[in-house]
Structure 1
């Protein structure tokens, strides 16, 4: 049980507890959890390490540290995560946005600038929107854009709507309950998706933080991990505006197979992006006759 009576001592205790349990980012997770419990900042830890800690704060810190040791991801415990400079709420049926997905956002924005610039009234469709992370990141940079976030989960859409409102984009974001394109109408300049791409056989090998806390249907896509891409490739062109682009996140070893699926449906690979680890992570396609 935590016996710390000051902020500095509580941070040290939390860090040691997590490190002893084998948590790889013990220092970061301890800081995030203690800051959350005490409503303090990194500056407070430096300038006021002797700040008193109440019994309630110690008890709550103990509870949250125990949850982290049991395998619950730190941002699931906190209930939010930062993505592309935005603060996003999480819920049970949303994936936790990861930094790798920012590669997809950046790649789309590069194409936007090449195609006409940030100030055009871009129409964006984010399929499998989850928290709304990708759509809202694009709206945060494209001031005249409007986005539709489609998802099969009403819970996810409620979370995305709340995130849009919280980040000042609510008037430019529409939530659509849809199984991929099923209930979507109209054409879009930008179709973007971070679809499920984990193979069935790989599910059991994922970290406990993923297996027990991320929604399975948002991650697993058939025996080869390509089921969602097949549907996106087969149906996407009917929803693309003239000159539009379709961009997807991929697994690190899926560039060739996903590109093949889209080229078979008349698309052409326009650009690809790598994540910070150097892995292929995002692809942008356009019509096969696009320049």
Structure 2
């Protein structure tokens, strides 16, 4: 069982990154009509390499989410689903099954191919969370699919002296290692809850691309106020060794960073490869029933 660590290692940040730009997500629907906001869109994939997509979903209206995501394929990347509220049942062609509940994380490596479904297990109440797509390097795009569910109490947590509560999904924060590590992309994925007026500092490798997404309240990042439901793409300033931010009011946010792969990106819907020929092959495999 995970325990919150109350005496964390301090994160010395001498020079904070600033905000390159603020991004407003695009309202859309996916699956069988699930309403969501696409925060990290396809035109930002190169800028935020190795991340391919971030969707935010949240509604109290069952019609917005009840149909879920019936069977659909993936190849060539990883999906990380973080559930803030609600219950979602996962089943896939590799034989994995798991119930994703409030506060939990589902990490799936599609690799060479998987067909899966994600179906809500409630008919009323709030369904809220995020799905992040993380690219795989060319050498791993045809790897064996992998899947892991993490219950809320299995995720490492840390509380800072300033009162920040941090769930460490991936990477390291204040000396606490996250639930998952990846050598090539070295992702950092933090869910940070800040009381009003509290500050937070996180060391980040200088080569990582990074962004913040505020989903409750607002934060100050240097001279830039980042309001609710905005993504702040962090700059890659030479000499910056992390990020410092402060809550203008009680706030909740995601901090995501990763080592860019700097490889070609070819995407067609649920397939992300390096060349168009590999995309055509994925389509043929799916058509012929040999994708997964």
TM-score (norm 2): 0.28
Bigger Rg, structure 1 or 2: 1
TM-score (norm 1): 0.28
Name whichever structure is richer in helix by fraction.
1
Greater relative CO (CA pairs within 8 A, separation 6+): 2
